[in-house]
Structure 1
Amino acid sequence: MAEGPDPFWWRDGEHSGPRRVEGGIQIRNTRGKVSRTWWSGRFLAVVESLGVGGRLSRGRSYARAGQIVSLDVDAGGALARVQGSRPQPYRARIGVPAYGKAEWTQVLDALAADASYAAALLAGEMPRGIEDVFDRAGLSLFPATARDLVMDCSCPDHAVPCKHLAAVFYVLAERFDDDPFQILALRGRDRETLLEDLRARRGAPAAPRGVPLTELLDSWFVAGPGLGTPIAGPRIPSDALLDQVPEFPVAVRGAPVTELLRPAYQALAGPDAG
């Protein structure tokens, strides 16, 4: 069933339509589903569960039209300016609790203990089981209910979420598609700090900033703890393989084929080979 008109249009004075924004932030998906990844879909499920009348559809329209003038994401929330029909953009804020050092220590220890989590994060992906890691620590990665969110907007509409807040949710979801670390940043850990903490816990030094990759080729791999020092084995002669080859039934000018090949094997191995 199609959603009807917003019954509270008169409260925010936008019955005449919003003012157009040049260069505003807009989502790429002009129709249908907004999210492209499971993590942004999970985030959007929260706002869609809070839908009020036509506000969600109007919020998507705002996001698709580029009505968001600016959007900043930091620990504890996102702050946006959204252009409506009035001259000054509205200030819309979405807040979530940011976790402290003790909470993040539990999460990072668990993530570092499983190589698959670290590998996915280093590859720019959000691991499928990361919600379970937060759950075991008594925490939540994604807001679960409206009580996990603080939402306010300077517009006259008293409903929460209003269409301006809904537009911010949709733009946030697309940002999360492109960079899942922004979800973790909301909870208090930016990308660089998180990855450095993971490397430190797994015993791999972080790459020095500004050093060309060609200068790191000799040290890109660092053995983990417990591997010990490699034990050098006896040097095997380069032509030892020929001694394992069955005797050929034919000879070349009276000489066995293996003996004809032996100088070539020794030459290929270099002058230091036995």
Structure 2
Amino acid sequence: MPEPDPFWWRDEAPARPRKVEGGIQINSTRGPVARTWWSQRFLGVLERLGVGGRLSRGRSYARAGQIVSLDVAAGGALAQVQGSRPQPYKVRIGIPAFGKAEWTWVTQALAGEASYAAALLNGEMPREIETVFDGVGLSLFPADQRDLAMDCSCPDYAVPCKHLAAVFYVLAERFDADPFQILALRGRDRDTLLEELRARRAAAAPPDENGGVAALADVMDVFWTGDTGLAERLSGAHTPPDAILDQVPDFAITVRGEHLTELLRPAYRALAGED
């Protein structure tokens, strides 16, 4: 009688996933996926939360275009990922969205620093933006595992499964192209945030001669011009331009019988436009 196979319980070799026509895939064919600091930070946070060790399982799915659809909105991302079964698996990644009051704090802090607003208006994520969120008691990226919900309809017990992992890779590459999708997860879309920033920056601008807020285009000719009376108020009494020569010790050298300081005096006056 033959000996029973000690590995009779082992699973069959996994079936290959069904090919998707026109699926969503990452552009990176090798090496790191994230190119910008904010996408690298996103994947780094996943590593810290213990998720990153399993991300590599989904890299081939992400590169093969197995993601059928992906929608990013306030509170998370929903996707369909094609596996070996006929129906795509439903994937959900949840990140809590901030409320109106919380976004008011964030927007006010961002608008208070011109460089932050300028970077966002230019489609970039300021490096200090995490500090801004921290300053109002919030976190831009998931702070702990309670800040990150993951669910997939596949039978794999591992979290994240390769379908969830594939979506994380596509999200990271999308964040490279559009950092506002990170903010959208937390509850603010691009247009709403930029409109609020513009409104707050305009409200903080100096008033025009009629008491209203002057548009930047209307004050560009004097934007870098200081108060015309400031120099006079700071300088006090008029000081002759050649007064400094009176503080210079006498030189032993003379030129045609004239002291050197006296020869220089007309030049100092000429430079000041007094001669």
TM-score, L = length of structure 2: 0.69
Q: CA deviation at 1:69?
A: 0.3
Q: Does the Cα contact within 8 Å between 1:76 and 1:188 map onto a contact in 2?
A: yes
Q: What stretches of structure 2 of length at least 5 have no aligned partner?
A: 1-9, 204-214, 229-275
Residue 157 in structure 1 maps to residue 153 in structure 2: no
CA distance in structure 2 between the aligned counterparts of 1:14 and 1:52, rounded to whole angstroms: 25
The change in CA–CA distance for 1:156 and 1:116 in structure 2 (over 3 A counts) is same
Q: CA deviation at 1:137?
A: 0.7
- Equivalent AA in structure 1 for residue 23 of structure 2: G
Aligned to 2:23: 24
Q: CA deviation at 1:147?
A: 2.0
Q: CA deviation at 1:45?
A: 1.4
4+ runs deviating over 4 angstroms: none
Deviations 1:117-149 (A, max 9, x none): 000000000000000000011100011332210
Q: CA deviation at 1:164?
A: 0.6
Instruction: Give the length in aligned residue pairs.
Output: 205
Aligned to 2:143: 144
Deviations 1:204-236 (A, max 9, x none): 7xxxxxxxxxxxxxx772559xx9xx999xxxx
Residue 183 in structure 1 maps to residue 182 in structure 2: yes
Residue 90 in structure 1 maps to residue 86 in structure 2: no
Q: Identity over aligned residues, as a percent?
A: 74
Q: CA deviation at 1:51?
A: 4.0
CA distance in structure 2 between the aligned counterparts of 1:52 and 1:201, rounded to whole angstroms: 38
Deviations 1:214-269 (A, max 9, x none): xxxxx772559xx9xx999xxxxxxxxxxxxxxxxxxxxxxxxxxxxxxxxxxxxx
SS of match in other structure, 1:202 = helix
Aligned to 1:74: 73
CA distance in structure 1 between the aligned counterparts of 2:178 and 2:65, rounded to whole angstroms: 20
The change in CA–CA distance for 1:128 and 1:14 in structure 2 (over 3 A counts) is farther
Q: What stretches of structure 1 of length at least 5 have no aligned partner?
A: 1-8, 205-218, 233-274
SS of match in other structure, 2:33 = coil
CA distance in structure 1 between the aligned counterparts of 2:155 and 2:108, rounded to whole angstroms: 46
Deviations 1:11-53 (A, max 9, x none): xx88011111111000000111000000001111133342487
The change in CA–CA distance for 1:191 and 1:141 in structure 2 (over 3 A counts) is same
